[in-house]
Structure 1
Amino acid sequence: MTEDLTDLEEIGPIDYLVIELPTANMDGSAFEHLLDLVGRGLIRVLDLAFLSKAADGSVSGVALDEVPGGVNLTFFEGASSGLLGDDDLDEAGAAIEPGTTAALLVYENVWAAPFATALRRNGAQLVASGRIPVQALLAALDATEPAS
């Protein structure tokens, strides 16, 4: 499922994730939600790759039909826009712990495409972007609670 990126004027914001998954505990439920997001047209998967890191630190690619957890990800077979390169895979492999599997996901936020397109047509530019991890949000909220 190679994605066509020829009409970049109409594309929504692109995000990427590297997710470390404990190989032994994977049940596939998160990827069912990914399939749902795609099915509802909220996101478009541009690249999806998996790799695993053995106890000795060696890193290898994992085919979509061999991802632990039992969910069928072959729908994404061939999802390769070219945005995800070997250097990204190497960097992800270095970042994860031995005994884990990593999912590398590059996706378009289709839901935001009309807004982003209108902004671009009016000359607007994205000058900063970020994401607040849930763990940081929870820690900040805990820090603001009065001591009991």
Structure 2
Amino acid sequence: MATSYGTVELVVLEFPQDAIPSPVREEITRLARQPQVRLIDLVRVQRTAEGDLEVTEALEVGEQLGVHGLDLVGAGLVGQEDIDEVGEGLRPGTSALLIVVEHLWSKGLVASVRDAGGMLRSTERIPHDVVAAVIEGPPAR
């Protein structure tokens, strides 16, 4: 029988500079220690000022971020196609961080659906601005 996993998501964070800001590094470190999610792959893509694309793979990115001892069981889930797509959109002097997370809170739900003969059909990320607009209403003028 296959190992059960929760929902897995690729999150792409883009920065207007080539370095990952300190507050973001701190949040990724905090995220890596949370029991509800598991970081399973991590890749940094940077477009140099000269226009070259540089890619830093999982464990080296973890060390750069100060997150040591990561158990990146899904290293390689960020594929070359993902890297190429993100890299195409980066302007010189900018960078992006591609993070694959498993939502551990959903592991039992996904397993119970599969055991009932069902399947996880899709997941979709709803952008922050859309959520805020619906819940909080339109901004005051």
Q: Which category of TM-score, normalised to the shorter sequence, fits these structures?
A: 0.7 to 0.9
Are 1:76 and 2:73 matched, yes or no?
A: no
Number of corresponding residues: 138
CA contact (8 A) 1:48 1:80 kept: no
2:120 to 121, 126, 129: 126
Are 1:113 and 2:107 matched, yes or no?
A: yes
SS in structure 1 at match of 2:75: coil
1:48-105 deviation per Cα after TM superposition (whole angstroms, max 9, x unaligned): 01011123432112342774xxx41343386653222222211111122322111011
Please identify, of 88-97 and 113-122, the stretch whose mean Cα deviation from structure 2 is larger. Answer: 88-97
SS in structure 2 at match of 1:75: coil
- The aligned amino acid for 2:17 is T
Aligned-CA RMSD value: 2.9
Residues of 2 paired with 1:42 and 1:76: CA distance? 15
Q: 1:137 Cα shift? A: 2.9
Unaligned stretches of 5+ residues in structure 2? none
Unaligned stretches of 5+ residues in structure 1? 1-5
Per the alignment, residue 18 of structure 1 pairs with 12
**Identity across matched positions, percent:** 26
So what's the TM-score if we normalise by structure 1? 0.74
